[in-house]
C-alpha cells in the first residue's frame, strides 16, 4: 500500500501538536504495516501555490500543476492528514492543496444526471487535528476543519474516513501535557485499525 502523509502545520515537528499525534499514529501504523510505503508531504516546506489563471489555462489543455498533482494523489491508497484548526477551519495551504487535487476527470466526474461522482473509490483517510480551544455541542456546529476534509474527501469518493482531534491545546496546556501519554496511547490504538 502507498500512504500519503499530508502535514499542514507550519511548525517544526517538536512544537506542533497535530504533528506529534500524527507521528505516534504513523509510528504505530508502520509497526503494523511494515511493507507499506509512507511518503510525507510537508505542505509549508514544499510549498503549495494557489490556483491562478495560468494553472487554470493549463487545466483546459489537460496539463499543468492541477493535472499533475491530482494524478499523483490518485497513486496513493491511504491518506493521513494532520492539521491545526485555523479560524474554525483548516490552514489556507491545505485548502490550496485540495484545490489542486479536486479535478474533474481525475478525482471526480459528473454522472449522467449531473450528479458528481467520486473517482478516488476504495481509498481510506485518517485526519489528526489539533485545536486551541474546545468545541462541545453546540459549538461543534461551527467547526469546519475536520468536517471540510471529511466531506471534500467524500466528494472525491473517499468514504472510509476517520479522525482524532485533540482539543484545548492552548486553553489548558498543562492538562494536555499531563494527559499526553494517554492521548498518544489512544492514537496508537486507532492506528492499529487503519
Ligand X SMILES: Cc1cc2nc3c(=O)[nH]c(=O)nc-3n(C[C@H](O)[C@H](O)[C@H](O)COP(=O)(O)O)c2cc1C
Rule CB under 6 A: choose which of 4, 16, 41, 123 binds ligand X: 16
86 near ligand X (CB under 6 A): yes
Q: Please state the closest distance from residue 50 (CB atom) to ligand X, in A.
A: 17
Nearer to ligand X, 132 or 157 (CB): 132
Q: Which letter does DSSP use for residue 13 in this model?
A: G
Helix, coil or strand: residue 103 = coil
Q: 65 with 71: CB under 8 angstroms?
A: no
Q: Which of 4, 6, 18, 70 binds ligand X (CB under 6 A)?
A: 18
Kindly tell me which residue out of 87, 113, 137, 174 binds ligand X, with binding defined by CB under 6 A: 87
Work out which of 9, 69, 102, 107 binds ligand X, going by CB under 6 A. 9
Give the C-alpha separation, 105 to 130, whole Å. 33
Listed in sequence order, the residues at least 6 apart from 11 whose beta carbon sits closer than 8 Å to its beta carbon are 19
What's the rounded Cα separation, in Å, for the pair 123 and 20? 24
User: Measured from the CB of residue 148, what is the shortest distance to ligand X in angstroms?
Assistant: 13
Residues between 99 and 138 with contacts to ligand X, criterion CB under 6 A: 130-133
| Interactions with ligand X, residue window 140-179 (CB under 6 A) | 169-170
Give whichever of 47 and 111 is closer to ligand X, judged by the CB atom. Answer: 47
User: Element (H or E) spanning 19, and its range?
Assistant: helix 17-32
CA atoms of 94 and 44, how far apart (whole Å): 9
What minimum distance in Å lies between the beta carbon of 47 and ligand X?
18
Q: Are 81 and 127 in contact (CB under 8 A)?
A: yes
7 binds ligand X per the rule CB under 6 A: no
Nearer to ligand X, 107 or 130 (CB): 130
First to last CA, the chain: 12
Footprint of ligand X on this chain (CB under 6 A)?
A: 9, 11, 16-19, 84-88, 130-133, 169-170
Amino acid at each position: 500500500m502507498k500512504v500519503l502523509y499530508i502535514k499542514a502545520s507550519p511548525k517544526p515537528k517538536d512544537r506542533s501538536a497535530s504533528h506529534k499525534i500524527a507521528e505516534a499514529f504513523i509510528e504505530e501504523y508502520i509497526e503494523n504495516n511494515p511493507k507499506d510505503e509512507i511518503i510525507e508531504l510537508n505542505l509549508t516546506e514544499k510549498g503549495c501555490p494557489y490556483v491562478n489563471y495560468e494553472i487554470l489555462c493549463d487545466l483546459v489543455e489537460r496539463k499543468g500543476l492541477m493535472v499533475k498533482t491530482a494524478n499523483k494523489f490518485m497513486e496513493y491508497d491511504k491518506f493521513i492528514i494532520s492539521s491545526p484548526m485555523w479560524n474554525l477551519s483548516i490552514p489556507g495551504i491545505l485548502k490550496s492543496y485540495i484545490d489542486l487535487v479536486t479535478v474533474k476527470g481525475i478525482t471526480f466526474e459528473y454522472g449522467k444526471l449531473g450528479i458528481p461522482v467520486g473517482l478516488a473509490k476504495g481509498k481510506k483517510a485518517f485526519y489528526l487535528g489539533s485545536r486551541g480551544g474546545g468545541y462541545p455541542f453546540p459549538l461543534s456546529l461551527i467547526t469546519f476543519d475536520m468536517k471540510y476534509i471529511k466531506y471534500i474527501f467524500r466528494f472525491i469518493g473517499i468514504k472510509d474516513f476517520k479522525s482524532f482531534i485533540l482539543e484545548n491545546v492552548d486553553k489548558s496546556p498543562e492538562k494536555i501535557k499531563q494527559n499526553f501519554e494517554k492521548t498518544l496511547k489512544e492514537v496508537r490504538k486507532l492506528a492499529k485499525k487503519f
